[in-house]
Amino acid sequence: MSRMGVYDQVKKAFQDLIAPEIHSLRGEIQRMDGRIIGLEGKIGGLDGKIGGLDAKIDAVDQKLTQKIDSLRTETVSMKGELIAEIRRLDARIDGVDRELRTAIDIRERLAALEARRSA
């Protein structure tokens, strides 16, 4: 019979002391589960926003790439035009140089002829 008394005492102590704590812990666990679920929802929302930002960044990157390619093409075109203009001016300068050398040669010949005539 004393055995039964100890069992009943342990059972009563368990019911009086441990069971309420376990019940309280269950409530805390449920609240924490609710908070975790809420955080998971917020994280899911952030994932969607991050995906949207990724899409926007990709769009901006694509626009910048197109603009850079366009500027590169325009620069190459302008470089070609500039080189053509430099070559045209170089040829013109060469022509003026030939005309100037011819004029100097004519002047020297004229000066020599005048010197002979005067002598």
| Whole-prediction pTM | 0.50
The rounded distance, in Å, linking the Cα atoms of 85 and 91 is 10
Segment 59-112, tens digit of pLDDT:
999 999 999 999 999 999 999 999 999 999 999 999 999 999 999 999 999 999
DSSP 85-116: HHHHHHHHHHHHHHHHHHHHHHHHHHHHHHHH
Only one residue has tokens 């190459």, namely 76
Q: Is the model's pLDDT at 7 over the cut of 70?
A: yes
Segment 15-56, tens digit of pLDDT:
888 888 888 899 999 999 999 999 988 888 888 888 889 999
- Average pLDDT for residues 3-25, to the nearest whole number? 83
